[in-house]
Homo-oligomer: A and B are copies of this chain.
Amino acid sequence: MTTTAQALAEGVLAGDVRRASRLMRLIDDQAPLATDALKLLFTHTGRAWIIGVTGSPGAGKSTLTDRLITAYRAQGKTVGVIAVDPTSPFTGGAILGDRIRMQGHATDPGVFIRSLATRGNLGGLSRATGDCLHVMDAMGREVIIVETVGVGQDEIDIAQLAHTTVVVLVPGMGDDIQAIKAGILEVADVFVVNKADLDGADRVVRELRSNLELRHAIKAPPMDHDTHHRIVRAKAEGKPVEAPKGPVEWEPPIQKVVAAKGTGVDELVAAIANHQKHLVDTGEKARREQTRAMTQFLTLLRDRLLRAGLDRLERERGKLTDVAQRIAAREADPYVLAEELANAAR
């Protein structure tokens, strides 16, 4: 077991795509071997620049990602892509249509594309995404693009794994769609208005600008360490959080792009580079990496704790289905049960 974890880790560190793919499959399957390999890889991570690309369905994220791959390859950088796919919770089958758009890079060894499916529930997706980021990082990929649909809480969690989050909007979507993006707007470092050759592109830019001005007007004062800690802890527990962004110094640029034609992509790459420089210069990069470490650690912890809790529950109270049956029949109280199990972890 340890030998194989060792072999996997060594393969990944040597940039071996086959071993990396194997490890990512193991991560997806939650194999204990994956954790063993990840432990060996962890100290070799932290070098990649991670770019999140998120937005509504139909915003053209895959085409844009494809253009970004080409741009970074032209700079001589190696690229990794993690495409997070909305899939059935039952069949586990990924929607592969979008991926086909990136097939142009299939023969380039400097590009490594991997799809992650939404499997099961309870936030497993952001854990798997975080683990796969570690693998691509340890492989030595210089730029890693994480592409997600920006609609749910999971997606916002995943967006926060990135150094630079690019939020893609398009003209002509209804107000309801804009509502969905309410949460994602606030994690944007760079806005892209894609399909900017369509009617209404300028309206989207204007709306974004007034949204940003509003945000600017209510921006928070700089945060001390204790405030930061309080907010981090509150977020971890899912409690309401006020003003978590700290000193808002970066003004997210709004870039018009026509991804299908490649228009505006160089400017987008420049905007991402500016953001990278800003994060490094202001020391905000370190804070963002702490947030990332926190998010990854918390999802990992939640996962392990739940599994330990379930083991204990099954040992003490019988099968999980029997427990559910007793709860459904109001013979067992879920609130009391959960507290008893949690007290063991104190």
Q: What are the residues of chain B within 8 A of A312 when measuring CB–CB?
A: 345-346
**CB of A237 within 8 A of chain B?**
yes
Interface centre among A28, A182, A300 (most CB of B within 10 A): A182
Q: Given the interface contacts A305-B342, A312-B346, does A123 sit within 8 Å of B120 by beta carbon?
A: no
Q: What are the residues of chain B within 8 A of A91 when measuring CB–CB?
A: 186, 242
Q: What are the residues of chain B within 8 A of A42 when measuring CB–CB?
A: 330, 333-335
Pick from B43, B183, B304: contact of A342, CB below 8 A.
B304
CB distance from A128 to the nearest CB of B (A): 8
Q: What are the residues of chain B within 8 A of A323 when measuring CB–CB?
A: 297
CB distance from A259 to the nearest CB of B (A): 14
* Interfacial residues of chain A within 258-311, with CB under 8 A of chain B in the complex: 286, 289-294, 296-311
Rounded to whole angstroms, the CA-CA distance of A29 and B240 in the bound complex is: 7
| Interface stretch of the complex, out of A108-116, A139-147, A161-169, A225-233 | A225-233
Q: Given the interface contacts A328-B286, A328-B292, A333-B39, does A342 sit within 8 Å of B241 by beta carbon?
A: no
**CB of A236 within 8 A of chain B?**
yes
The reply to whether A154 and B152 contact each other, CB–CB distance below 8 Å, is: yes
Pick from B35, B39, B327, B345: contact of A305, CB below 8 A.
B345
The reply to whether B303 and A305 contact each other, CB–CB distance below 8 Å, is: no
Pick from B58, B292, B310: contact of A237, CB below 8 A.
B310
The reply to whether B346 and A239 contact each other, CB–CB distance below 8 Å, is: no
**CB of A106 within 8 A of chain B?**
no
Pick from B125, B225, B292, B311: contact of A321, CB below 8 A.
B225
The reply to whether A336 and B39 contact each other, CB–CB distance below 8 Å, is: yes
Q: What are the residues of chain B within 8 A of A93 when measuring CB–CB?
A: 182
**CB of A8 within 8 A of chain B?**
no
**CB of A207 within 8 A of chain B?**
no
**CB of A256 within 8 A of chain B?**
no
Rounded to whole angstroms, the CA-CA distance of A122 and B92 in the bound complex is: 21
**CB of A200 within 8 A of chain B?**
no
Q: Given the interface contacts A236-B122, A325-B290, does A342 sit within 8 Å of B301 by beta carbon?
A: yes
| Interface stretch of the complex, out of A70-78, A172-180, A188-196 | A172-180
- 1/0 per position for A35-55, CB-CB distance to B under 8 A? 100110011011000000000
The reply to whether A330 and B89 contact each other, CB–CB distance below 8 Å, is: no
Rounded to whole angstroms, the CA-CA distance of A302 and B334 in the bound complex is: 12
When C-beta atoms are compared, the residue in chain B nearest to A156 turns out to be B89
Q: What are the residues of chain B within 8 A of A324 when measuring CB–CB?
A: 232, 290-291, 293-294, 297
**CB of A103 within 8 A of chain B?**
no
Rounded to whole angstroms, the CA-CA distance of A87 and B185 in the bound complex is: 11
Q: What are the residues of chain B within 8 A of A14 when measuring CB–CB?
A: none
**CB of A252 within 8 A of chain B?**
no
Interface centre among A29, A120, A174, A323 (most CB of B within 10 A): A120
Q: Which 5 pairs show the lowest CB-CB distances between chains A and B?
A: A152-B152, A124-B238, A120-B238, A304-B342, A57-B176
